[in-house]
Each structure stands twice: as C-alpha cells, then as structure tokens.
Structure 1
Amino acid sequence: MLIAFDSTQQALRAEMLLEYAEVDIDICPTPKEITAGCALSIHFPEEDMDTVQHVIVAEKVEIRGIYRPVLSGYEQVQMGEG
C-alpha cells in the first residue's frame, strides 16, 4: 500500500507519526502513475491499513490518497476500506 501527499511537510509528519505507531514503513519516490504535489510517498503493509487510517484521521494528516498496487499501476483506496 502507498500513501501519496501534496506536500513534503505532510509526508515527513506522517513518517514520524506512523513510526511512532510502530507501522513498518518505507519512504519512496511517488510513482509516476500517481499525480501528487510531493515527490515522496510512504509504502506500508496492507495489514496495517486500519492503524494507518486511524493515525491519518486522528492527527489530521493531509494526504493525496492511499493507493493499492494493481496490474495497470495503482488504484486509489477509499478511506475505511481495508
């Protein structure tokens, strides 16, 4: 799973919050298939989706979206899906 952002500040804030929540994350370049205002994205395991969504909502992190890899690239996941 991948979180895309509109700002580097929000990406770095999410990184700190997710690490504090003990989610296994990786910072990576935003894939070209995803149009975002920020070059940084965060990869995380799908099984951590509930924790990630809770942190994003509780801490009011501004994101472009959460995406799932598919054969054609990425599809956006609606908040609440898991």
Structure 2
Amino acid sequence: MLLIAFDSTQQALRTEMLLDYAGVESDTQPTPKSITAGCALSIGFAEEELPKVAGLLRSEQVEIRGIFRFHTDGYVPVEW
C-alpha cells in the first residue's frame, strides 16, 4: 500500500474524486505524524496502481506533498 500526502484538504478531496472516477480503489485516512504535510488527510492505494495514479496526478496537475511507502523505519518517499 502506498500513501499520497497533500498540502491542502482541497487537493486531497479532489484526488479522492479523480481516483474514484478512474476506478482506482483508495482509502482516505489520517496523515501519519511521521509525514510532514499541511493536510490531515492522505489517500492510500495499491502499489500496482502507481503508474495509473501517477499519470492521473500529472495529467490533472494535482498538487501533492509526495507519495510514500511504509518501511520498517517509517514512511519513505517513492519516485513517481
């Protein structure tokens, strides 16, 4: 599971809607404290959906803090 963190609630809600329309299963959840973000909401999704999600974020010019993967040391950024 990967996690998208945002700087604004508006972008989180917009992304939630875009993912829903694109048929990507996602889970809106609180942003972990270990990820510094300006928004309390994050969106989790399956790692195999990364190419589709990244393409959607780029084409719709969604502003995000980053995409993260949970690692034993905490959340680490994912190149997308």
TM-score of Structure 1 vs Structure 2, range by shorter chain: over 0.9
Q: Where does structure 2 lack aligned partners over 5 or more consecutive residues?
A: none
SS at match of 1:12: helix
Identity %: 61
Q: What is the aligned partner in structure 2 of residue 59 from structure 1?
A: 60
Which segments of structure 1 move beyond 2 Å, counting only runs of 4 or more? none
Give the residue type in structure 2 aligned to 1:10.
Q
Q: What is the aligned partner in structure 2 of residue 16 from structure 1?
A: 17
The residue correspondences of 1:3-82 to structure 2 (distance < 5 A) are: 3-79=4-80
Q: What TM-score comes out, normalization by structure 1 length?
A: 0.95
Q: Where does structure 1 lack aligned partners over 5 or more consecutive residues?
A: none
Q: CA deviation at 1:36?
A: 0.1
Q: Write the distance in 1 (CA, Å) between the matches of 2:40 and 2:29.
A: 8
Per-residue CA deviations over 1:41-78 (Å, capped at 9, x if unaligned) read: 00000010011001100000000000011001110011
Q: CA deviation at 1:12?
A: 0.2
Q: What TM-score comes out, normalization by structure 2 length?
A: 0.97
Q: Write the distance in 2 (CA, Å) between the matches of 1:72 and 1:20.
A: 34
Q: Write the distance in 1 (CA, Å) between the matches of 2:6 and 2:44.
A: 12
Alignment root-mean-square deviation, CA:
0.4
